[in-house]
Amino acid sequence: MAEKPDCGILTSEAGDLQALNRPAENAELWDFVRSWLRRFQKTDGDKAAERFVCLWAAVMAWAAKAAPDLRRTRDGMYLEHCLARDQKLAERFANLYKIDKDFRRKIEHFIAAAPVLLFAWLQRNAVGDWDPGQDRRAYIMKAFEKEPPDGTFAPACGRGHLQAGEKIPADWAHVFSMIAQVRRNLFHGGKNYKTSGERQFLEPAMAILWEVWRFELPSGILLSRVSWLRALLRSGFLAQEVDNRISLAEETEANRKYLQKLLAAGQFGTLKNNILLLDEPYVEESYWLRAVDSTHGGAEGGSADDLAIMDTYMAGLVRWLNKVGIGTELSCDGHGLKKPSFIAIDEESARLAAWLLNFRVPQFTQSGKTVKYAGAGPNPNAAKPAERLRRMLDAAEWLAKNRDDLKVMVAAMRRVSAPKTPPKPEPVPAREQGVKPKS
């Protein structure tokens, strides 16, 4: 009977560490991190190796300041184990795995190819290169026939899991140990690594590390953090600031329950007595929207007050249009494939909606009862899906902040109704036209 895998080996150097000492106020550190992250983001996307080096430098600089034993900040293995053991990173990883289907798919593909073998050992032991077209598990088992020593594969407990017939756990400690091994291959793999099958791990390793760690960055360094009030308004919630706290007292009971689900899904805080109790005053908007995307229902039609059934990026726009007096029946944010659109309750409402939304920048078109986002600028069709969706949130925020004035405007426009087609004149008798009647 195979021994139980020792997963503790992945974090043993960190001892009983629970959480890193996050360096919030350290201008020198963040200046250094910012310089590396700018290179990470500006480097061409096809230069994955260069981008990974930049990201790794930023992460390890942060870890060196956050690790509890300052005497070991030059010990790479110690820092890696501290990162793998950090409870907050582990919780964020688990939450992303739960609420983000794309992230989950990425992890599953990454773990399915584990363990990551040390490329230098593969070369020294004449183990043929892995062809991504061949079965990965068969290749791993063949490599293990050479009895690789500890340290030549990651996660270090990977062989034990395979011998026990188990799947390698999809948790932060196991995944990060694989990411660290990818880094070792990149730094010490040699020239042949540029064409190696093991290099296939480079892109997913970099993407996973960035997704989990980037939330550690303070506001102002690359992240789009927004206040909670803005995030809620952009998603359609009737929130308001009262005595420096966010109140949902005017929201419907159904939407308050829905918000409670969202807060639990993203581990943001809770709603108590209609007051939002939050862990942090700001939220990274993409993280909030992932929680919304994983929690809301799939109906495109229904009550304009029921946020739980609306698409992530249309809920706010539709809610606030209805609040200013423009009723809607259906809506769709396009799901990244089509342009966002909605159907008003009648053609007059559709005309008013298009007029109102184009009040700032012409970007919507109207045909019958349908209003569709057409784009803005000199080349409106060139807008990327993410840009189109962001503009729906921007429009929702504008409607929310100006809803009282806009409601008055809409009511006035309805009174100034479109001119009606004049009735056809009745035929005038011939004698009144000055024509002599026929005898």
How do residues 50-98 score in pLDDT, each as one tens digit? Answer: 899 999 999 999 999 999 998 999 999 999 999 999 999 999 999 999 9
**Residue 439 clears pLDDT 50, i.e. is over it:** no
With a cut of 60, say whether residue 1 has pLDDT above it.
no
In a domain, 189, yes or no: yes
Residue 271 shares a structural domain with residue 392 = no
In angstroms, rounded to a whole number, what is the distance separating the alpha carbons of residues 320 and 400?
Answer: 6
Given 216, 244, 260, which residue is the final one in a domain?
216
The two tokens of residue 194 are: 């540029």
CA angle in degrees (0–180, nearest 5) for 116-122-124: 150
Residue 424, domain member (yes or no): no
**97 and 234 fall within a common domain:** no
Does 308 lie in the same domain as 235? no
Residues 142-161: b if buried by 16+ CB within 10 A, e if exposed: ebbeeebeeebbbbbbbbbb
Give the pLDDT of residue 428.
Answer: 61
Length of the chain counted residue by residue = 439
205 lies in the same domain as 261 = no
Same-domain pairing of 84 and 206: yes
Shared domain for 302 and 273, answered yes or no, is no
Of the chain, the end-to-end C-alpha distance in Å amounts to 123
Q: Which bin fits 222, alpha (ψ -120 to 50), beta or left (φ > 0)?
A: left
- Identify the residue with better confidence: 430 or 415: 415
Let me know if residue 283 belongs to a domain: yes
In a domain, 428, yes or no: no
Q: How confident is the model at residue 359 (pLDDT cuts 50, 70, 90)?
A: confident
Last residue of a domain, one of 256, 273, 295: 295
* Cβ proximity of 155 and 10 under 8 Å: yes
Does the pTM exceed 0.75?
Answer: no
Indicate if the pLDDT at residue 132 is higher than 60. yes
Same structural domain, 108 and 255: no
Q: Which residues of 258-267 are buried (b: 16+ CB within 10 A; e: fewer)?
A: bbeebbebbe
Looking at 241, 263, 295, the residue that finishes a domain is 295
Q: Are residues 319 and 375 in the same domain?
A: yes
Please state the three-class secondary structure of the chain as a single string.
Answer: CCCCCCHHHHCHHHCCCCCCCCCCCCHHHHHHHHHHHHHHHHCCCCCHHHHHHHHHHHHHHHHHHHCCCHHHCCCHHHHHHHHHHCHHHHHHHHHHHHHCHHHHHHHHHHHHCCCEECHHHHHHCCCCCCCCCCCHHHHHHHHHCCCCCCCCEECCCHHHHHHCCCCCCCCHHHHHHHHHHHHHHHHHCCHHHHHCHHHHHHHHHHHHHHHHHHHHCCCCCCCCEEEHHHHHHHCCCCCEEECCEEECCCCCHHHHHHHHHHHHHHCCEEEECCEEEECCCEEEHHHHHHHHHHHCCCCCECCCCCHHHCCCCCHHHHHHHHHCCCCEEEEECHHHCCCCEEEECCHHHHHHHHHHHCCCCCCEEEECCEEEECCCCCCHHHCCHHHHHHHHHHHHHHHHHCHHHHHHHHHHHHHCCCCCCCCCCCCCCHHHHCCCCCC
Q: State which residues form the domain around 356.
A: 297-417
Q: Which tokens belong to 228?
A: 């909670």
**From the centroid of its chain, how far is CA 25?**
26
What CA–CA distances, in Å, run from 101 to 106, 205, 290?
Answer: 9, 17, 9
User: Can you tell me the mean pLDDT for 307-326?
Assistant: 95
Do 117 and 43 fall within a single domain? yes
User: Binning pLDDT at 50, 70 and 90, where does residue 2 land?
Assistant: low
Q: Does residue 435 lie within any of the structural domains?
A: no
Q: Considering the domain boundaries, does residue 437 fall inside one?
A: no
User: Confidence class of residue 434 from pLDDT cuts 50, 70 and 90?
Assistant: low
Q: pLDDT tens, 35-51?
A: 999 888 877 666 888 89
d(CA 41, CA 29): 18
Asked if 266 and 95 count as a contact pair (C-beta separation under 8 A), the reply is: yes
Residue 212 maps to a domain: yes
pLDDT in the model for residue 437:
47
Angle, helix 315-323 to helix 403-415, in steps of 10 degrees = 60
Are 291 and 306 members of one domain?
no
Q: At 168, give phi and psi (nearest 5°).
A: -70, 125
- Tell me the average pLDDT across 383-404: 90
Do 97 and 154 fall within a single domain? Answer: yes
Instruction: Choose among 7, 3, 159: nearest CA to 81.
Output: 7
- On whether both 178 and 231 belong to a single domain, the answer is no
Is the backbone peptide bond immediately before 362 cis, with ω within 30 degrees of 0? no
In a domain, 306, yes or no: yes
Per-residue pLDDT, averaged over 141-168, amounts to: 90
Instruction: Identify any residues that bridge with 343 across adjacent strands, giving them in sequence order.
Output: 330, 370
Count how many domains the chain has.
3
